Structure 1
């Protein structure tokens, strides 16, 4: 099980990807911006760091390292980090609503209400939308995108071409927040180059105490209903699905989700196959109880191109109470 919180505080900007596919919007700006960085980015940092300091052998990391995220937290409140709000809870500035199951169908009272908040404190996870709003335990994204012009460098020389500029989609986080990842291993505290553009960040490792209620929540078995707190990539090495295609996975009765998101990562110097994932916050209703926490799920449910995507937190989820489900 996860033993550490890895906090990442940018010392300036971080890189914000424009997404996995070209489009007319992408050619002139950003389209479907992707932030924060995937756990695979942090996984690569583990391998490069511990290859040099020899604290963990490569075989130990390859076999046992698990990372999940990304989440975020306010300064000095790291244990109560924010996770994506389940899609069953819709909260805007003035009111709330919730999806429930009635007559074997998804329904809600205010179909025109659109969510304005996307994050909830993990210790408020199973409370109603009205309660978590009253507790002020919800937040919007604590970052914004900033377009930055850079000189365009020549390939063989470290000086700019005449009049050459390129556009970077940088991300500016609020001063009092940091990214948070769950990890089975620790990183030495310090400053690191992190992300696609090697921006400078401060990293700290915080142990999770065994009696921490958050750890107990992560260990709680999934019954019939659950929600993803990270995006999920399931299927084979060639095909992606909305849920594991395995006889050992219970039948899925209902899903509440958004459109699929593009997913790709690099491992061992090679770019992994492009595929689609199910977005964080998606809600699943099963025909029968699974009675297993995510930690005990079969790694064969996840694509494995030399490195199981379960090891980078694919499909990490928490049990969720839904009205109308017994």
Structure 2
């Protein structure tokens, strides 16, 4: 039945006079903050221009080199700060945003960043437009990487402890900055050459300083196998309780082997590391009847700002002086 127009209009007028529009307004009021929050999150994850900006580095060693070479032309952010172990570090949501929105991502590679490996792999396979990514250890001659059946399928990643190898990675950092920011390429090129010259100077100092310690005393026992490149380059023997990654824990056999090595070689002191728990090394020292050096060595991370090991070169010199001093040489540190 067709209702009279007057009845229909009356009912429409009655409907408009109900509280239903207030319910609609209430829903809109609740939805609006949610939309604003979503929009804020999107804007926060992007640079103002929508283009990738800045440099993001995984380790302290890479961050230090990138800041020296960048010289203020680009903002450099490091993910793993002082005392943070890159083997175990898991990227936070904020870290993921930084990586996804960086103009340049610099990471070590050769499986150092174990927990971040998948994330870094995804960023490398699908970079944003204008984004550059470099694994600074991948450029090192594969024949110069240390492999051992105890290390498993991967080479030892701690290449920064051989200054000659680290120079190669620093040159890669400089080249990556030039590719990411061609407008300042000349500055990056000059800064890279200057820093590489400083690394060479430090390398020559290390050779001369090590020569002051008798070869028979150059035996180092540490918390994990981080110093194989250092040992090869500067004439030491090293034994670590853990493997090349701190993801593994030293077992009873590792501890027994270390104790035997210490007693057989009459080693007076062994070394803890700043980024590795002391439990195992303390147990070894007790069983072997030796001391633990009061000064911990730096392995996978730099020191706190203002400390002697706050920079890569500072960390390297600190480690060498600590090692030589503890193993029986009382020579003065060369300034």
Q: Which TM bucket (shorter chain)? A: under 0.3
TM-score normalised by L of structure 2: 0.26
More strand by share: 1
Q: Which has the higher helix share?
A: 2
Structure number with larger C-alpha Rg: 2
TM-score by length of 1: 0.27
